[in-house]
Amino acid sequence: MRTIRTTRRRVLAGTALAGVATLALASCSGGSGGGDVDTDAALEEGGTITVWAWEPTLEPVIEDFEADNPGVTVELVNVGTGIDSYTALQNAITAGQGLPDLVQIEYYALPQFALQESLTDLTEFGADEYDGAFATGPWDSVHSGEQIVGLPMDSGPMALFYNKTVFDEYGVEVPATWEEFAEAAAQFQEANPDVYIGNESSDAGFAASMMWQAGGTPWTVDGTNVSFDLTGDAGAQAYAELWQGMLDDELLAPIEGWTDEWFQGMANGTLATLPIGAWMPANLESSVPDGSGDWRVAPMPQWTEGEATSSENGGSSLAIPADAENKELAYAFMEYANAGDGVQTRLDNGAFPATTADLESDEFLNQEFEYFGGQKINEVLAESSANVVEGWQYLPFQVYANTIFGDSVGQAFLGDGTISEQLGSWQSTLEQYGADQGFTIE
C-alpha cells in the first residue's frame, strides 16, 4: 500500500464549466459576417475597446499602443483566469450584452467557443496572411476548419528543466529518452530516498502534452463528430505505461504542482526535474530564487531514441467575439500586441513568443540567463517549438474534459486503479457527456 504523505489534488468542480460546455451546440450567434476591413481608418477615428485578459505583459503593450494612437483607449479588465474568464464570456454571449471587444482564450478552450460560432473569423481581416509567421503548434490551434478564430499571443513548447547541481552531485546523466528518465528516477531514489526526479503530475494539460509528443490521437474531431480512443491509442498508452511504472515503483514525489511544497522541492534539491512549457523560467526566477545558478534546460526526453519531437503545454490567443461592437479597432490592437511592436514589449517582460521571427532571431537565441548559469536556454526552447508534432486537436469540450480529469485519471495517482484503466473511465464519461450535448460520438 502506497503511503500518500500529503493531499495533492487541485480539484475543479465539473459543474463550474457546465454552462460553457452545455451551450456549445445551442447558442450560436451567427458568425462575423463579411466585408472589407480598414483598421487604419479605425485607428484614425479612435475610440475605446475593452480587453478581457489576465496576462500582465499586456499592460505595458497597452501603454505603448495608446501613446502611438492618441485617440484610442484600451481598457484591460481581468474577469478571472481560465475557467472564471470563460464562464464570464459564456454568460455575456448568452445574455447578448456586456461582451468585450477582445478576449484572451487559451488554445485548448478555443474550439469550444469556435464551434458555437461565438468568435469572429479573422480571415476577413486578412489574418490568413500570417501563415508562417507563427510557430506550428499555436498557429494550428487558432484554426477552426477554414476559419482563423484568434491570433497566437504566446506559446509553450515543452522542455526538460533540470537541477544540474543535483544531477552532478549524484552522478546521474540527464535523460535523453523517457526510458532513461525512469532509470534516472530510480538512481536518485537509490542514492537518496528524499530526492525525486519529479512529482506525479496528475494534470490533464500535462497528460495531453505527453500524448501529443508521442504522436497520439486519443480523440479526433470533425465538426460535431467526435471519436475517442484513449484505451487503444499508442500515444495515450505510452503516457499511461511510463507514469504507471514510476508510480508503482514509488519513483515520483507525491506532491501536487503549484503548491508551496512543489516550489520548496525545486528550491532545496529534492525535485530534480520539471517537464513543462517554455513559459516556466519567469516562474522559477520569481518563486524559486534560491535555485538560481543550479537549473538548466534540456530538450524533452524522447519516446524513441534519436528522434526530436515535442509538444505544446499551455499558451493563449486573443480572439474577437462574434458580436463585439468595435472589431476593426480590436483587430488593430490584436495585430500590434501579437504580431507587431507589442511582441518585443511582452518578451522584455517575460513572455515566450509564438512568432517565428522572434524564435529565429539571433538576439533571442543568444540571450544568456543568469538564473540558468548563463545558458542560452532559448536555443533549446526555440528548437522545441520547431519540433512540435503537427496535427494535434483539442476537444470541442476540452475545458469540461480537463475539469473532470481528476475524477478519473487523477484517482490513479491516489492509488485507485491504473492510469490506463482510468483513461477508459475518463473516455466513457466524455462520450456520455458529448452525446448529451448533441455531439455525434463515433
Instruction: Please determine, for residue 374, whether its predicted confidence score (pLDDT) is greater than 70.
Output: yes
Instruction: Please determine, for residue 72, whether its predicted confidence score (pLDDT) is greater than 70.
Output: yes
Half-sphere exposure of 172 (CA within 13 A, CB side): 29
3-state secondary structure 268-295: HCCECEEEEECCHHHHHHHHCHHHCCCE
| Spacing of C-alpha 36 from chain mean position | 33
DSSP one-letter code for 10: -
DSSP one-letter code for 4: -
Range list of β-strands (E), 175-332: 219-222, 225-228, 273-277, 295-298, 316-319
- Average pLDDT of 426-437? 97
pLDDT in the model for residue 3:
33
Contact call for residues 141 and 350 (beta carbons, < 8 A): no
Grid cell, residue 222, equals 470533425
Instruction: Scan for cell 450567434, then name that residue.
Output: 29
Closest CA to 438 of 248, 191, 224: 224
Work out the number of other CB atoms within 10 angstroms of the CB of residue 281.
Answer: 20
pLDDT in the model for residue 2:
32
Instruction: Please determine, for residue 29, whether its predicted confidence score (pLDDT) is greater than 60.
Output: no
Q: Which residue has the higher pLDDT, 236 or 83?
A: 236
pLDDT in the model for residue 25:
55
pLDDT in the model for residue 36:
59
Work out the number of other CB atoms within 10 angstroms of the CB of residue 344.
Answer: 18
Contact call for residues 403 and 87 (beta carbons, < 8 A): no
- Average pLDDT of 254-271? 96
CA distance 382 to 264: 28
3-state secondary structure 137-195: HHHHHCEECCEECCEECCCCEEEEEEEHHHHHHHCCCCCCEHHHHHHHHHHHHHHCCCC
Instruction: Please determine, for residue 375, whether its predicted confidence score (pLDDT) is greater than 90.
Output: yes
DSSP one-letter code for 16: G
Using 50, 70 and 90 to split pLDDT, how confident is the model at 4? Answer: very low
Q: Which amino acid is at 54?
A: W
- Average pLDDT of 156-170? 98
Contact call for residues 396 and 226 (beta carbons, < 8 A): yes
pLDDT in the model for residue 20:
54
- Least reliable range by pLDDT among 31-35, 114-118, 163-167: 31-35
Mean model confidence pLDDT for the chain: 92
Q: What percent of the chain has pLDDT over 70?
A: 92
Instruction: Please determine, for residue 211, whether its predicted confidence score (pLDDT) is greater than 70.
Output: yes
Find which of 254-258, 346-350, 416-420 is predicted with most confidence, using mean pLDDT: 416-420
- Average pLDDT of 357-377? 97
53: Cβ–Cβ under 8 A, 6 or more apart, which residues? 76, 77, 78, 102, 103, 104, 318
Residue pLDDT, tens place only, 303-344: 999 999 999 999 999 999 999 999 999 999 999 999 999 999
Instruction: Please determine, for residue 98, whether its predicted confidence score (pLDDT) is greater than 70.
Output: yes
**pTM listed for this prediction:** 0.90
268: Cβ–Cβ under 8 A, 6 or more apart, which residues? 290
- Residue 275 burial (C-beta neighbours within 10 Å; 0-12, 13-18, 19+): buried
Residue pLDDT, tens place only, 10-23: 222 333 344 454 54
Using 50, 70 and 90 to split pLDDT, how confident is the model at 201? Answer: confident
Residue pLDDT, tens place only, 119-149: 999 999 999 999 999 999 999 999 999 999 9
Residue pLDDT, tens place only, 219-246: 999 989 999 999 999 999 999 999 999 9
